[in-house]
């Protein structure tokens, strides 16, 4: 499962941040002392966000942290949220014998390509995970040792019930008590601290990095951002933060690996978009492993043929996405991928096949054919 930065609520003091850098996950006791510095980096992380469902405050819900601390598994579980945390935990607990119902407002993995979310949803259902998509939450309650959730689905009111409920509906930045408004530090619509491409906040001398910015919430991106912010704070703001080639992985089975733009993002950015999709039944590695679940989708600039995005759903997709990340970082084209030599009987060979699919029918090629 993806790693997150998680901190408990902290009492920083009523006078604001007081030039304090909080990068440590342990509670800080200031004891009334003023800690000052010339530059400040805010890295207070996030905590599980709780949806505004009537009655939720009276329900003993699980979070991504407490669910992993359970000493005894429930017989049944409602999982709220179709993002990567919900998907990973729903599948994990279902495979451990829990009867899981996965519930979400829109579609599975809403930030992923729709073809990948739809395919993964089918695989989860085939394993016995019940899916309730496109719902709106009405109310939740704890009755006689069970959780009851009222939702509206396709114009009908439906009640879903289980022994316990797990909330995986996102993360909330830890900004309370920092006195951001008094300091003139602005936040974004999702509550994260607003930063520019140098990770500077809207107050001179203050920087923010990691999950508290409300974006790119992966441990490796937090480490990258914190290092960049520290160097900028000390050495003249010369480094630019970029997530253009940021790989993201969902550790489901099959795994999801993504980097760069989705088709929708590329069109919204004004590119003349071309896409290709190759299903894993055309990838020799998948055929040899007798597991052809999944697909590979590439997004390219139709004018320059530069690779803009790569999206993999495959049992070993996490280990293949970095090749695409390097290709995007280096500005490679789909022709560069199609003409490169890839080792036979590897999942990453599917990237070459997906690149060839822009101009060829790969089903008619012999193995290793260029």
Could you tell me if 295 and 355 lie in one domain? Answer: yes
Q: Is residue 368 part of a domain?
A: no
Here the tokens at position 271 are: 């590119």
Could you tell me if 341 and 353 lie in one domain? Answer: yes
Answer with the one of 243, 259, 276 that is the final residue of a domain: 243
- Whichever domain contains 16, its CATH number is 3.50.50.60
Q: What is the pLDDT of residue 22?
A: 42
Are 41 and 230 contacting, i.e. CB atoms less than 8 angstroms apart? yes
DSSP state for residue 320 in the 8-state scheme: T
- Give per-residue burial for 16-25: e unless 16+ CB within 10 Å, then b: bbbebbbbee
Confidence (pTM) = 0.86
Q: How far apart are CA 291 and CA 256, in angstroms?
A: 15
Here the tokens at position 18 are: 């007081």
pLDDT tens series, the chain, 370 aa: 444 433 333 333 333 444 344 433 333 446 778 888 889 999 999 999 999 999 999 999 999 999 999 999 999 999 999 999 999 999 999 999 999 999 999 999 999 999 999 999 999 999 999 999 999 999 999 999 899 999 998 889 999 999 999 999 999 999 998 999 999 999 999 999 999 999 999 999 999 999 999 999 999 999 999 999 999 999 999 999 999 999 999 999 999 999 999 999 999 999 999 999 999 999 999 999 999 999 999 999 999 999 999 999 999 999 999 999 999 999 999 999 999 999 999 999 999 999 999 998 887 776 655 5
State the CB neighbour count (10 A cutoff) for residue 52. Answer: 8
Could you tell me if 258 and 349 lie in one domain? Answer: yes
Distances (CA, A) of 189 to 176, 194, 206, 214, 221: 15, 9, 20, 9, 21
Could you tell me if 89 and 147 lie in one domain? Answer: yes
Answer with the one of 127, 147, 168 that is the final residue of a domain: 168
Could you tell me if 187 and 123 lie in one domain? Answer: no
3-class SS of residue 204: coil
Q: Is residue 366 part of a domain?
A: no
Q: Is residue 236 part of a domain?
A: yes
3-class SS of residue 76: strand
Full domain range(s) for residue 187: 1-49+170-243
The DSSP bridge partners found for residue 136 are: 152
Q: Is residue 62 part of a domain?
A: yes
Q: Is residue 80 part of a domain?
A: yes
Q: How many domains does the chain have?
A: 3
pLDDT tens, position by position, 233-256: 999 999 999 999 999 999 999 999
Could you tell me if 61 and 161 lie in one domain? Answer: yes
Could you tell me if 181 and 149 lie in one domain? Answer: no
Q: Is residue 370 part of a domain?
A: no
Answer with the one of 243, 259, 282 that is the final residue of a domain: 243
Could you tell me if 237 and 206 lie in one domain? Answer: yes
Q: What is the pLDDT of residue 21?
A: 42
Could you tell me if 307 and 351 lie in one domain? Answer: yes
Could you tell me if 175 and 224 lie in one domain? Answer: yes
Closest CA to 304 of 327, 271, 328: 271
pLDDT tens, position by position, 75-86: 999 999 999 999
Task: Give the residue carrying structure tokens 């999801």.
Answer: 256
Could you tell me if 43 and 67 lie in one domain? Answer: no
Are 309 and 250 contacting, i.e. CB atoms less than 8 angstroms apart? no
Average pLDDT, the chain: 90
Could you tell me if 232 and 266 lie in one domain? Answer: no
- Whichever domain contains 291, its CATH number is 3.30.390.30
Q: Is residue 369 part of a domain?
A: no
Closest CA to 2 of 35, 42, 46, 34: 46
Percent of the chain with pLDDT strictly greater than 90: 84
């Amino acid at each position: 499962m993806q790693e997150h930065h998680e901190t408990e609520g902290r009492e920083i003091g009523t006078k604001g941040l007081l030039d304090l850098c909080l990068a440590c996950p342990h509670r800080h006791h200031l004891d009334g002392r003023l800690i000052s510095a010339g530059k400040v980096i805010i890295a207070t992380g996030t905590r599980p966000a709780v949806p505004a469902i009537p009655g939720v405050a009276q329900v003993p819900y699980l979070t991504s942290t407490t669910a992993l601390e359970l000493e005894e598994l429930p017989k049944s579980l409602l999982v709220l949220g179709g993002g990567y945390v919900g998907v990973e935990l729903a599948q994990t607990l279902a495979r451990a014998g829990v009867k899981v119902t996965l519930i979400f407002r829109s579609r599975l993995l809403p930030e992923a390509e729709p073809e990948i979310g739809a395919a993964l949803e089918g695989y989860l259902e085939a394993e016995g995970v019940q899916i309730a998509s496109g719902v709106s939450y009405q109310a939740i309650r704890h009755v006689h040792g069970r959780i009851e959730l009222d939702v509206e689905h396709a114009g009908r009111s439906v009640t879903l019930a289980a022994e316990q409920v797990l909330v995986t509906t996102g993360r909330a930045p830890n900004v309370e008590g920092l006195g951001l408004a008094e300091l003139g530090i602005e936040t974004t619509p999702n509550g994260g601290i607003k930063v520019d491409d140098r990770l500077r906040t809207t107050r001179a001398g203050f920087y923010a990095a990691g999950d508290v910015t409300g974006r790119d919430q992966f441990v490796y991106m937090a480490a990258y951002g914190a290092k960049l912010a520290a160097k900028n704070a000390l050495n003249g703001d010369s480094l630019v933060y970029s997530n253009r080639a940021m790989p993201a992985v969902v550790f489901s089975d099959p795994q999801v690996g993504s980097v760069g733009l989705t088709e929708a993002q590329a069109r919204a950015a004004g590119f003349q978009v071309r896409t290709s999709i190759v299903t894993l039944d055309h990838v020799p590695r998948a055929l040899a492993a007798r597991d052809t679940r999944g697909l590979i989708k590439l997004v390219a600039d139709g004018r320059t043929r530069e690779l803009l995005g790569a999206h993999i759903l495959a049992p070993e997709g996490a280990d293949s996405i970095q090749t695409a990340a390097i290709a995007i970082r280096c500005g490679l084209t789909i022709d560069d991928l199609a003409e490169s030599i890839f080792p036979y009987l590897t999942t990453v060979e599917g990237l070459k096949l997906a690149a060839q699919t822009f101009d060829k029918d790969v089903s008619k090629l012999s193995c290793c054919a260029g």
